Amino acid sequence: MEVVIVPDAKAGGELIAEAMAALLRRKPDALLGVATGSTPLPVYEALTAKVRAGAVDVSRARVCQLDEYVGLPADHPESYRSTVLRQVVEPLGLPASSFMGPDGTAEDVQAACEAYDRALPAAGGVDLQLLGIGTDGHIGFNEPCSSLASRTRIKTLTEQTRVDNARFFDGDIDQVPHHVITQGIGTILEARHLVLLATGEGKADAVAASVEGPVSALVPASALQLHPHATVVVDEAAATKLKLADYFRATYAAKPAWQGL
């Protein structure tokens, strides 16, 4: 696992966007796994700027969802399908056919989970999966005590996650669904490159537990320690609880430029 400490969210977004751009230059039809929420917005903004400047061609890129609410209509403004289309697919100028995700409105939700879990490897696998982290250490919607071998499935959200997400529903927690479809931890770990972005002091405890603590189902993001190519990008505020922060800074400063992110 590589830990990169950046000055702020904008710098983190630029760094990750350049990693995505470099991937697309090598593999124009790469499958990018995207996350939702406020944290990854600087990544999408930076990547969109690169596309508009002609620095990278994304015309053959593909995008896949990490998770989806169960029961929200696909065209609901806070469904993750709508969010990804609005924040990623449309700004990048990608066709709707480039996008894949689970069906949160399916009559048989379990079958929809299994179908999506099969669809990812059938599409060649996820080349780079962008992740956020919850204040309790969850990734995707794999809440604490999720199996580290879990596959795409239905999960019940914790009260804390619903509280955290209420801001996207006019602050009304009653509008936040109780259930979601999420890629499991085992599914996430199959991506070729995992990139977790965390910003703000509120994520500092979760980052420290994930990076420096033991691998534990209690802290789902700690599973990134098991991945051969995992990168954790944190701003100064989110790095405040890291005991090895100085080491991480020195290691990144000495990293050969040809290695990339």
Task: Give the residue numbers marked as catalytic.
Answer: 67, 136, 138, 143
* Residues 132 and 197: beta-carbon distance below 8 Å: yes
- CA dist., res. 17 & res. 55, Å (int): 11
Q: Which of 255, 261, 190, 189 is nearest to 232 (CA)?
A: 261
Structure tokens at 203: 């994520």
* Residues 240 and 11: beta-carbon distance below 8 Å: no
| Region of 34 on the Ramachandran plot (φ > 0 left; ψ -120 to 50 alpha; else beta) | beta
- CA dist., res. 246 & res. 3, Å (int): 11
**H-helix or E-strand spanning residue 181:** strand 179-182
Helices and strands in the chain, H and E counts: 9, 10
- CA dist., res. 61 & res. 28, Å (int): 6
